[in-house]
Amino acid sequence: MIQVHKLWKKFGRNDAVRDLSFAVPEGSAFALIGANGAGKTTTIKILMNILHSTRGTAEVLGIDSRRLSPRELTQIGYVSENQDMPHRMTVEQFLAYLRPFYPTWDRELEKSLLRQLRLPGERRIRDLSHGMRLKVALASALSFRPKLLVLDEPFSGLDPLVRDEFMEGLLHQAGEMTILISSHELGEIDGVATHVAFLDEGKLLFQESMSDVIARFREVRVTLEREPAAPTHAPSDWLQLRTMGNVVSFVDTQFSKDGLGERVKALLPGVRDIDTQPMGLRSIFTTLARTARESAV
């Protein structure tokens, strides 16, 4: 559905995106995660042909993103936290304006989305709150049953109630569509994403299916018989290695139930107990982000 190959984007002397490559499989819910300024929005804007890349290629629906035409855009829904919608229009006027552009626009679906998202059709867009505007954008992006739905930081600035309504609206209609979602609100993505890519300072740190990520990251606490000397040659896949008394903790990024015990015992003498805990996406993200920052320093 989306193929990005060695993508670069420079703004002046700054590299916003560096040598980025990833692929979004059809039917997946692909989360692009990373801290603010990681390059998520820039990547999405290149995919939508709003920005042009400095180098590299990006294909959307099998077309070079620089050649995206109205024909492809009839199949792509887009919602962004900073989308400027025609603020003088009412919600109804806006949707009525968009209808003729999309051959697959479904009036019944539109009505049901307006009801579900509790959108006031007669209100001008400029009079709506940020959350309401995002819901209008979502309704306008879902009403034509797009093949690809691109969500750029859709949860930013939303209160929990609106966030829930937004997610309900999204999940209710998701069906077969492919979703590309960028966010740093990882709690929301956790239950939605099937694939995840982690961006840091414009670079891709990894891309894989959510189940693989969840499976290979573990928080490990090793209790030793006595306080250990500082380990001098910890494996590179152990992150955030910490010692507190006789307890050593770290994040194992290549967790294997069978291999962990042997590896720990080989490095840390006097192991009394090994406790492993699965990690949520939020914890994985913060671990990776911290590690990336520490290594940058």
Partner 1 sequence: MVWHIFKKDWKLLWPFFLAVAAIQFIPAAIRVKLGLFGEDPVLEYALVPATSIACLAVAFLAVAIVHQDSIPGVRQDWLVRPVRGRDLLVAKLLFILVLVEGAAIAAATFQVLASGFSLRESLTAAFFQNLFLISMITLPAIAFASATKTSMECIIAAIVTYVGGAALLIAFAIARGGNERPASVGTGASWITLSAGLIVFVLGTCVVLGMQYIYRRTAIARGAIAVSCVLFVVVFELLPWKPLFAFQQHLSSQPGVAHSMTLSLDATLGKYHQPSGLTLSDQELWERSHKQGSPAELFVPLSISGLPADSILKADKSELRLISSNGQVVYRGSGEDLEVRQEGTSNRQSSAYQEFDIPQAIYSRLKSQTLRVEIGYSLTLFRLDTAFGIPALGGDLRSPKLGWCETQMNESGSAVELHCMQAGNAPTCATAFLENPSTGMRNPSLSSCEPDYAPHFLRSDVDPISHYGLNLRFRDPSRLTQYPVDGPQLPKSQVVLRLYDPQDHFTRQLIIPAISLRDWEST
The residue ranges that bind partner 1 (CB under 8 A) are 45, 48, 50-51, 70-71, 73-74, 76, 78, 80, 82-86, 88-89, 93, 97-98, 100-102, 137
Q: What per-residue string of b and e applies to 136-163 under the rule 16 or more CB within 10 Å gives b? A: bbbbbbbbbbbbbbbbbbbbbebeeebb
Residue among 100 and 160 whose Cβ is closer to partner 1 = 100
- Looking at beta carbons only, is 90 or 173 nearer to partner 1? 90
What's the min distance (Å) between Cβ of 67 and partner 1? Answer: 12
**Least CB distance to partner 1 at residue 152 (A):** 10
Complex with partner 1: residue 41 or 207, whichever CB lies closer: 41
Contact indicator for 59, 22 with CB cutoff of 8 Å: no
User: Residue 37: CA atoms inside 13 Å, Cβ hemisphere, count?
Assistant: 5
Specify the residue, 183 or 207, whose C-beta has the smaller distance to partner 1. 183
The Cα–Cα gap between 226 and 242 comes to: 15
Cβ atoms within 10 Å of 184's Cβ, excluding its own: 17
β-strands 29-33, 195-200: how paired? Answer: parallel
State in angstroms the smallest separation of the CB of 46 from partner 1: 10
Alpha-carbon distance of 2 to 5, in angstroms, equals 10
Could you tell me the smallest distance in angstroms from the CB atom of residue 161 to partner 1? 25
